Structure 1
Amino acid sequence: MGQLSQFFQPPLDWQQFEELTRGLVDQLYNTQSSMIGRSGQAQDGVDIYARTQAVGHLGVQCKRLSIRDDNNNLLANAVISPAMLKEEAEIALNFRPTLNTWVLATTAKRDARIQKSARNLTEAFEKRGVGVRVQAWFWDDYVSWLNLFPDLQRWYYDKVIHIRSSSEQDELILSLIATAFHRPAFSDPLYSENADDLLQAIKDTHMALRTGELVDRKSKHVIQKAIGGWRSLSNSAWKAELKGLESDLQTLKIKMMEAIKEKLIVQHSNYLEIRDPQLVEDLEYMRASCVRRLNIILLDGKLEEI
């Protein structure tokens, strides 16, 4: 029987991700790496540098992708793009000493497009006479390495993200659920919404609550995860309330789908028409009720309301 693998929550800020990556470089290559420049500000495309026997001069740039913009709204398409990879790899060619291997490390989910782009860039550099191998490390890789190296795993929990108790894990789960609800579908007037976007936002929020996975709508990548959703909470009272909230969201989703099918909700070029006044009241009440129910839990957990 194979060994069970544990999922690990990505670091909560840039510095934590850089610290983890530095620890990983040291573990993988049996070396002593160094940070370059200030945290979060790569110098010539490099945050972490190390001399290694296995891959020569190694430079790593850390990309912990934010899931919110400057206005605290959820970002669309918060993933690494081939263009971003190429741009950053070109910048890293200026680093001294000259690198043999350059890695873009990211909290994004593994992406075959980016892996292929890294291979293509390596080949293109070879044709230009530049001997730099380009790689991409994804959060899936970090999870595998954390499962492979127990010492690194303990260090990550104790020194980096400082999670030592079930209550701290509960806080991470509640924070993810709050993030999932923090979107226009639960705050803006119904008439200003797009019918398809509104329904999809409700579906995405329902899935985040149920599975603990927050998905980017455009790329369909998981951009934040909190091990199992509400079912993994240790607080039984919160678990019972969120079970009810999941049921409420399911009811809201079904009501929206039926109304669209019966053409009680019609999308116009710049506004949403809901042809049944009672349906407007019902949908507004259900949205507000979901938010109120979650806010009670967040307040009990001493977290910020949405």
Structure 2
Amino acid sequence: MTIYQFYQPPLYWQQFEDLAVQLLAEVHDIPNAQALGRPGQAQNGVDVFGRSRKYGLIAVQCKRLSDLDKNGNPYPGGVISRKFLFDAAEEIKDFPQKVSLWILATTAKRDTAVQLHVEDLNEKWRNEGHSCTAMVWSWDDCVTYLNSFPNLQKRYYRDVIQVNSTRDLDLMIIETIAMAFHRRAFEAPLHIETPRDFLQALEDTQRAMRTGELLDRISRHVIRKSIGGWRRIEDRDWKSRLEEIDLDLRALRTGVGLGLKDGAIGIKNDFLDFSKNMDKARRLEELRDSCIQKLNAILSETDITPI
């Protein structure tokens, strides 16, 4: 019996569209499958297309859904309502070439209601004499295809398929945490930090530690995800030491926040000003350095480059 690997949906719609191109190429043996046009162009409900020997012209519309449950997975069905499906299908009637198979590819989970909507749509098309057939690729279907085509796994989920043990998972989480600490906030002297940027950096770093989600500083998009953060670490020693770092980060955030609130830390020319309380500055610096030292002690036990 083959045990399948589960894969998280891509974080960005461009990645999902690119994956849809490759899925169409592999599943229906269409080497020249391609995306249609560029973002913003009228596409008549088609994002990806290609011509197969069996079906003729196949068109795919991609819908990456942003609504996630508490585990970071798309809700069943998402926004794929009957009206949504029928409206989307109506658009392809204006496509300049005859489409034989239309696929709605979505990051939503497989849902019985949506499958029945597709059957209703196909019956409607048959009654109208429309020769096109519709189907839905849910994310469950995409995962099945990914497990069937090793080249796609390697192309899109290289890090995932290299996980062979709980230690591999631990190292992925620790690497994400290490990346979160590669910030100016943990390198530059505190007195040249702006309050807003410094507190945001601490918050983002703690988020990476607790959830495994690393955000881009500018776009605020998730750029790396190791689900679970330090609480999912299996190695008890590493887990305990990472918890200490998390507590130190919280103390650091609290210290800066309270200092700004009670006036112990001032703001001068938009930068943190510790001239009123140099002892507080020293304690905060020591707390910040302690986080780095403790993390580097863990990294020295791995192949991950220290901070």
What one-letter code is carried by the residue in structure 1 that aligns with 2:306? E
Matched, 1:239 2:239: yes
Q: CA 1:187–1:212 in structure 2 vs 1: closer, same or farther (change >3 Å)?
A: same
What one-letter code is carried by the residue in structure 2 that aligns with 1:31? H
What one-letter code is carried by the residue in structure 1 that aligns with 2:300? L
> 1:47-196 maps to which residues of 2 (within 5 A)?
49=33, 59-60=34-35, 85-86=39-40, 101=59, 110=66, 144-145=139-140, 149=144, 152=147, 155=150, 156=153, 160=158, 161-196=161-196
What one-letter code is carried by the residue in structure 2 that aligns with 1:279? K
Q: Could you tell me whether the CA contact under 8 Å between 1:10 and 1:139 is conserved in 2? A: no
Give the deviation of 1:210 after TM superposition: 1.2
- Structure 2 alignment gaps of length 5 or more: 52-56, 69-78, 80-84, 111-136
Give the deviation of 1:280 after TM superposition: 1.0
CA distance in 1, matches of 2:247, 2:199: 16
3-state DSSP of counterpart to 1:85: coil
CA distance in 2, matches of 1:175, 1:88: 42
Q: CA 1:128–1:103 in structure 2 vs 1: closer, same or farther (change >3 Å)?
A: closer
Q: CA 1:304–1:31 in structure 2 vs 1: closer, same or farther (change >3 Å)?
A: same
The answer to which of 131-140 and 168-177 deviates more is: 131-140
Give the deviation of 1:86 after TM superposition: 2.6
What one-letter code is carried by the residue in structure 1 that aligns with 2:296? N
Q: CA 1:9–1:301 in structure 2 vs 1: closer, same or farther (change >3 Å)?
A: farther
Matched residue, 2:265: 265
Matched, 1:31 2:47: no
Give the deviation of 1:272 after TM superposition: 2.3
Matched residue, 1:299: 300
Matched, 1:205 2:161: no
Q: Deviations over 1:80-119 (max 9, x none)?
A: xxxx833798xx99x998x97476799xx8389xx9xxx9
Give the deviation of 1:23 after TM superposition: 6.1
3-state DSSP of counterpart to 2:300: helix
Matched, 1:279 2:280: yes
Figure out how many residues of one structure are paired with residues of the other and give that number: 243
Q: Deviations over 1:255-288 (max 9, x none)?
A: 1111011122233335321231011101111111
What TM-score does the superposition give when structure 2 sets the normalisation length? 0.59
What one-letter code is carried by the residue in structure 1 that aligns with 2:202? I
Q: Could you tell me whether the CA contact under 8 Å between 2:195 and 2:271 is conserved in 1? A: no
Q: Deviations over 1:10-64 (max 9, x none)?
A: 89xxxx999966664467xx41243x7xxxxxxxxxxxx1xxxxxxxxx249xxx
Identity of aligned residues (%): 31
CA distance in 1, matches of 2:199, 2:108: 29
3-state DSSP of counterpart to 2:304: coil
CA distance in 2, matches of 1:228, 1:143: 25
Larger Rg: 2
CA distance in 2, matches of 1:295, 1:247: 16
Q: CA 1:138–1:85 in structure 2 vs 1: closer, same or farther (change >3 Å)?
A: farther
RMSD: 4.9
Give the deviation of 1:139 after TM superposition: 10
Q: CA 1:264–1:147 in structure 2 vs 1: closer, same or farther (change >3 Å)?
A: farther
Give the deviation of 1:244 after TM superposition: 0.9
1 or 2 for the larger relative contact order (CA 8 Å, sep ≥6)? Answer: 1
Q: Could you tell me whether the CA contact under 8 Å between 1:60 and 1:105 is conserved in 2? A: no
Q: CA 1:265–1:244 in structure 2 vs 1: closer, same or farther (change >3 Å)?
A: same
The answer to which of 161-170 and 236-245 deviates more is: 161-170
Give the deviation of 1:234 after TM superposition: 1.9
Q: CA 1:19–1:128 in structure 2 vs 1: closer, same or farther (change >3 Å)?
A: closer
Q: CA 1:232–1:129 in structure 2 vs 1: closer, same or farther (change >3 Å)?
A: closer
What one-letter code is carried by the residue in structure 2 that aligns with 1:292? Q
Q: Could you tell me whether the CA contact under 8 Å between 2:108 and 2:138 is conserved in 1? A: yes
Q: CA 1:186–1:278 in structure 2 vs 1: closer, same or farther (change >3 Å)?
A: same
What one-letter code is carried by the residue in structure 1 that aligns with 2:272? L
What one-letter code is carried by the residue in structure 2 that aligns with 1:295? N
Give the deviation of 1:224 after TM superposition: 2.1
3-state DSSP of counterpart to 1:86: coil
Q: Deviations over 1:223-242 (max 9, x none)?
A: 32112111111222111110
The answer to which of 241-250 and 137-146 deviates more is: 137-146
Give the deviation of 1:147 after TM superposition: 8.3
3-state DSSP of counterpart to 1:245: helix
